[in-house]
Amino acid sequence: MARIAVLGAGGVGSATARFLAHEGHSVTVVEQFSPDHDQGSSYGTSRIIRKTYTDGLYTSLMGEAYPLWDALEREAGESLFVRTGGLFFAPSGHPELAAIRRALGEHRVPFEELDPTACARRFPGFRLRAGESGVFEPEAGFLRASACVRAQLRLASAHGAQVRAGARVEALEPRARGIALVLAGGEVLEFDRVVVCAGPWTARLLAGHVSLPFTVTRQVYCHFEPSASLAEFSAERFPVWIDFGTYFYGFPHDGQQSGVKVALHQPGLPTEPDRVDREVHEADREPLRQACAEHLPGLSPRVVFEKVCLYTMTPDEDFVVDRLSGEPRVTVVGGLSGHGFKFTVLLGRLAAWMATDHPIPWELSRFALARFA
């Protein structure tokens, strides 16, 4: 069995480590911070999981990811996937709605049509405006992101994986007998294979080997206090939702953090991952308040929790899942572009296969590094 390093202990890294360790490999997870840190993209109580995409490739891949999440829940023995259903809407006739209906239909994903009257009847806490319509995907919901990461790392460790926390990789050096990792402070570790899934730090780690056109952006989300009963926004009564006309999105009350989460899926200001403005400003909050005013009349403008996280964007918003050109001992997974957490268990499965030369059962050319050449 191979000695394999996994760089980064977030959503992809934790999943990769779990699969590799379960299959008997000697796995070391190298993480510059502590496990489940809040400096990157995998931290928090909620990430939307859905098959509703305008692009049928992602709808298809989510069909492969759902059983892997179910298997993780069974193995971990805890609730990680909260099925609330998902409301996805836009102005009637919007081209993205048409593409969503087409992708769902082609991949036989059940969904229902909702107009403003039907939406008010189903979800009294949510308001579709006149001229808007949506689809409701019953299988959608949210993943408890931090809990997923912790569960994957716990299971990886139970199968023998080692986690090196607080270890910052300064260089990655291919050598005749393996790949050397040079840590801050000078320690050198050597492995047969390396999987790089370091989120916003991936491009910097690989700068000596490949130029990755990743842009790291600052993203803000806020939790707003209900003006009425919090029960109206419970996971039993309220869906996850995305406005495909504006890309605001939100969640029910997650049962763990105060308030109701609302965010914007548009790339924020470009930043450097080690120099992020972590303070939330009034200019960050106000657009989210406006989205609440339009669609969530039961929420007050009062913010009860807020956080800054990061996206790692590719120019086409497709992921990178590939081996380094000329160095197949290094596998790269990155550029999840703000919509990747729901795929992390599948991406971990793919990365583990790639790192051990296992055949890949799907066509992944859209995720190849060569597209940036």
Q: Mark whether 188 and 134 lie in a shared domain.
A: no
Q: Same domain for 219 and 281? A: yes
Full domain range(s) for residue 233: 82-143+215-313
Question: Which residues lie closer than 8 Å to 133 by C-beta, 6 or more apart?
Answer: 89, 90, 92, 97, 113, 114, 115, 116
- 209 assigned to some structural domain: yes
For residues 276 and 220, what is the distance between their CA atoms, to the nearest angstrom?
A: 12
219 with 294, same domain: the answer is: yes
Structural domains counted in the chain? 2
For residue 25, what are the β-bridge partners? none
Indicate yes or no: pTM above 0.85: yes
Claim to verify: residue 219 and residue 209 sit in the same structural domain = no
Give domain status of residue 71, yes or no. no
Pair type for strands 327-334 and 320-324:
antiparallel
Q: What is the pLDDT along the chain (373 residues), one digit of tens a residue?
A: 899 999 999 999 999 999 999 999 999 999 999 999 999 999 999 999 999 999 999 999 999 999 999 999 999 999 999 999 999 999 999 999 999 999 999 999 999 999 999 999 999 999 999 999 999 999 999 999 999 999 999 999 999 999 999 999 999 999 999 999 999 999 999 999 999 999 999 999 999 999 999 999 999 999 999 998 899 999 999 999 999 999 999 999 999 999 999 999 999 999 999 999 999 999 999 999 999 999 999 999 999 999 999 999 999 999 999 999 999 999 999 999 999 999 999 999 999 999 999 999 999 999 999 999 8
Note whether 87 and 241 are within 8 A (CB): yes
Residues 91 and 170 in one domain: no
Instruction: Tell me, yes or no, whether 266 lies in a domain.
Output: yes
